[in-house]
Amino acid sequence: MVHFDHDDDKPREECGVFGIFGNHEASLLTALGLHALQHRGQEACGITSFDGKRFPSERHMGMVGEHFGGDLRARLPGHAAIGHNRYSTQGRPMLRNIQPIFADLAGGGFAMAHNGNLTNARELRHQLVQDGSIFQSTMDTEVILHLVARSSRPRFLERLIDALQKVEGGYALVGLTGKKLVGARDPVGLRPLVLGRLGDAYVLASETCALDIIGAEFVREVENGEVVVISDKGIESHRFAQARPASPCIFEYVYFARPDSIVQGRSVYEVRRRMGHQLAAETPCDADVIVPVPDSGVPAALGFSEASGIPFQMGIIRNHYVGRTFIQPTQTGRQSAISKKHSPNKAVLEGKRVVLVDDSIVRGNTSKKIVQMVKEAGAKEIHFRSASPPIINPDFYGIDMAAKSELFAAIHTHEEMVRELKVNSLGFLSVPGLYSAIGEPVRNNMMPQFADHCFTGEYPTPLVDYEHDESDKERQLSLLDDA
């Protein structure tokens, strides 16, 4: 996995995928859908359509609005299209790593876009290269493409299923052939994928907000371990993995999903507001004002204010014309953006006992800067509250989160975190409290209802590549001991 030395307190996002079949404005609607999913990745974007003969494609570094406008239907014609917003987890930010990716297979062209991370991609890639495969990118997405190409099964769908049965990890993918739009979700349901309908057309997207922006009707979530096939004949559903309870990523509720999205029938905004209610109950504080760290801390801060009776105020103003710092690939750009991103509202903060509410703390760097800024604005006391539990383990399924050695809560005791942040008090939402806010009052310890490994260390799938890394480390240490 490729990591960048990000100076920010947010989990670095996955990606967003979108696909539509059966509308002559497919590429335009795809661009709109990607625009709604822009929060999931701002590094690069791409769209591939099918015009009846060819698969015209455009891929660009940067955001959707910068590239996909004007005569888009003329540039990317056809009644079907797929698109992708990228934030790199596997594969460095470069043009050849932008999706959708495309290949001419034995049965015809196949384009694919993928959200997530394969935890055995490195092992599979090594085997494929040994067998003669030639890779054009460093993305784990291309591993799936090669597995489809090399499958001996006779039909395309069988070849796709054959490929998916060989991979481990979390993923949601959309694919486009000359006759079909396909969508698939990993056996655990880690990465999200929903099905919608717009007139006679069908839509696949990472979140319901992408359906809303084009006026599509939500049909259902794609199930874990399911492949959906959309064609002129309608929709087919195929299961490629043994049925098991889903374990979707809990960070969709904590941070990733847009507040106006619906995840598993739950309003993300309402869940985050209830997180604030629960946080206030678990970590009460005598203070004058509740201040969110915008924008992601706003719903939880509102909930904290409602439950505590302490007034809610916008004590920090965010400049929305500065991009998210963790999306920017260079350290210099991130440092500059952090200093311009937030400004203190001195009229709210001066002389006050302030409760700062944020959705999470990853490295602690930006939290320290925020606290210092509020202190310099004249706050009398600062109490920091996180609307998620302490993050003590990295993720390997598409969230490019820091290594464990960089995670603030993993390398400090509670008292050390208070001293490092220079706050009067610090509080985190508990794991049971998070489940309660989502609507699951008791966490099932035998089969957790959500992938909560960042808080608990219980990973839902084998971590093949990571386990090999650990084995290599142990072997190297053993050799040193023998020397």
- Which stretches of 119-194 are DSSP H helices? 121-130, 141-150, 156-164
For residue 45, indicate whether it is catalytic. Answer: no
| Measured distance between the N- and C-terminal CA atoms of the chain, rounded to whole angstroms | 30
DSSP three-state, residue 114: strand
DSSP readout, 62-76?
A: S-HHHHS-SSHHHHS
- Catalytic site residue from 15, 45, 209, 249: 15
Q: Tell me whether residue 305 is annotated as binding.
A: no
Q: Which residues of 280-304 are buried (b: 16+ CB within 10 A; e: fewer)?
A: beebebebbbbbbbbebbbbbbbbb
If 0-12 CB within 10 Å is exposed, 13-18 middle and 19+ buried, where does residue 133 land? middle
Residue 359 annotated in ligand binding? yes
For residue 428, what are the β-bridge partners? 386
Q: Provide the sign of the torsion angle of the four alpha carbons 211, 92, 140, 242, taken in this order.
A: negative
212 is in an annotated binding site: no
| DSSP code at position 345 | -
Q: Coil, strand, or helix at residue 15? A: coil
Helix and strand counts by DSSP (H, E) for the chain:
18, 21
Half-sphere exposure of 444 (CA within 13 A, CB side): 11
Residue listed under structure tokens 């698969």: 55
List 55's β-bridge partners, or say none: none
Q: How far apart are CA 479 and CA 476, in angstroms?
A: 5
Cis peptide before 100 (omega within 30 of 0): yes
**CB-based contacts of 117, cutoff 8 Å, min separation 6:** 1, 14, 89, 90, 140, 169, 170, 171, 396, 397, 398, 399
Question: What residues act catalytically?
Answer: 15
Q: Residues within the annotated binding site?
A: 296, 358-359
Q: Which amino acids are annotated as binding site for Mg(2+), given as ranges?
A: 296, 358-359
